[in-house]
Amino acid sequence: MADSTPAPVIAIDGPSASGKGTVAQRVATELGFHYLDSGALYRAAALVALEAGTNLENESDIAHITMNINVIFDGEHVRLESRDITDAIREERVGVAASRIASWPKVRAALLGRQRSLRRPPGLVAEGRDMGSVVFPDAALKIFLTASVEARAERRYKQLMGKGLRANMAALLHDIRARDARDSERAVAPLQKSAGAIVLDTTGMPVEEVVAQVLARYKQAPQVP
């Protein structure tokens, strides 16, 4: 008889540029788990909307786009069907747009089933804003990463400059503060530490140490055989 126990999930949530993407990818690689970058789904929808000139305040139109995009995670690359959009979705204008459309209930509902469908053996590492609170409330381990606004702006600045994209530190600080406010205050699935989540402040912590802590916590999780 087939085992009906759902595949384990490690949910890693946190604000923008808290390091959750890098940490989640490395944890997934270490464990041989699948990886879900939920933010990439919203960013992909935002990119399509921006390129099509769609009104970001039109919830129905954005939800329609969201339901019809075909996003594929290919290692460290994100593809929209055959197009590599890994760098395009990391542009600040796309991130700001993604944060705006993520407040729409119809948009979030359109993505909920798609995110849950990625829960497959041997396991899933899912990162975003509401992975532990809404999408996978039964996750084996819930982590909430945080860091100072200044540290997060510096990380985003280095990330963008490293990709050859233009960046301005003052603008990044402003955008991150504004995004924190939007994500925390939205009516649907606001950014918040879910019940039972372990908080890790990554402000002065090397990524290797954060990954090691997450792996150690997972080994200690009661749901792990």
pLDDT score at 223: 58
- Please choose, from the candidates 13, 31, 15, the residue with its C-alpha nearest in 3D space to the C-alpha of residue 124: 31
Task: Assign domain 9-219 to its CATH architecture.
Answer: 3-Layer(aba) Sandwich (3.40)
pLDDT score at 1: 39
Cβ atoms < 10 Å from Cβ of 136: 24
pLDDT score at 194: 83
Alpha-helical (H) ranges within the chain are 20-31, 38-52, 59-68, 92-101, 105-116, 149-162, 169-185, 207-220
| pTM of the shown model | 0.84
Tens of pLDDT, residues 59-81: 999 999 999 898 888 777 899 98
pLDDT score at 143: 97
pLDDT, tens digit only, all 225 positions of the chain: 345 678 999 999 998 888 898 999 999 999 999 999 998 999 999 999 999 999 999 999 999 999 989 888 877 789 998 999 998 998 889 988 998 898 899 999 999 988 998 999 999 999 998 899 999 999 999 999 999 999 999 988 888 888 787 888 998 898 888 888 877 777 666 777 888 899 999 998 999 999 999 999 999 887 554
- Please choose, from the candidates 113, 102, 105, 128, the residue with its C-alpha nearest in 3D space to the C-alpha of residue 38: 128
Q: CA-to-CA distance for 186 and 70, rounded, in angstroms?
A: 26
- Per this entry, what is the length of the chain? 225
pLDDT score at 129: 87
pLDDT score at 119: 95
Specify the 3-state DSSP secondary structure of 74.
strand
pLDDT score at 4: 66
CA atoms within 13 A on the CB side of 160: 22
pLDDT score at 181: 83
Tens of pLDDT, residues 85-104: 998 998 889 988 998 898 89
DSSP 33: -
The structural domains of the chain, with segments of one domain joined by +, span 9-219
